[in-house]
Amino acid sequence: MRDYVKILYNYVYTRVPDSGDIEDIIQETMLAAWKSIGTYNASSSFKTWLIGIANNKINDYYRHRYRNRTETLEGQGEITDGYDFTEHTAVKNDVKQALSVLDDDEKHLVHLIFNVRLSYSEISEITGIPTGTIKSRMSAIKEKLKKRLGEGYYG
């Protein structure tokens, strides 16, 4: 349970600015998941299903806040909703340096893979971006970082 809440939190926090709202959305998502577990039929992975519920709660949140806006945030082929990772908590300088070569989309992809712990196919399902494209972006990210980190990047 703890792992799933952490994973969910890492997904939601880049989409919702206020920490109180994030907590509400997490609670509502887990509660809705508990109530509707009977409908989970493994046609998608459990994480994808859970994030699908979270997306609905996030969309409700934005619809409530911005009543006149009609666009939704999911499945538009974008990874990032404009979350600015440069505003993030203080990090060690060498890590900051390494991250600086990545653009926002690339940072988000890395975040989804290692912090939200989604597979390429799960990311594809959630964002609407084809798996092949995701793999190419990941290759590009690795090349950029290998160049930036230079020799001995294995350590």
**Which residues of the chain form contacts with another protein (CB under 8 A)?**
1-6, 9-10, 13, 19, 23, 26-27, 30-31, 34-35, 37-38, 40-42, 45-46, 85, 88-89, 91-92, 95-96, 98-99, 107, 110-111, 113-115, 117, 119-120, 122, 135, 138, 141-142, 145-146, 149, 153-155
Angle between helices 120-127 and 46-65 (to 10 degrees): 30
Element (H, E) at 132: helix 131-149
Closer CB to another protein, 42 or 68, in the complex: 42
Closer CB to another protein, 73 or 113, in the complex: 113
Q: Kindly state the smallest distance separating residue 117's Cβ from another protein, in Å.
A: 5
CA torsion angle 42 43 47 51 (round to 10): -130
Closer CB to another protein, 68 or 93, in the complex: 93
Which whole-number Å values give the CA distances from 25 to 20, 84, 113, 149, in the listed order?
9, 20, 21, 38
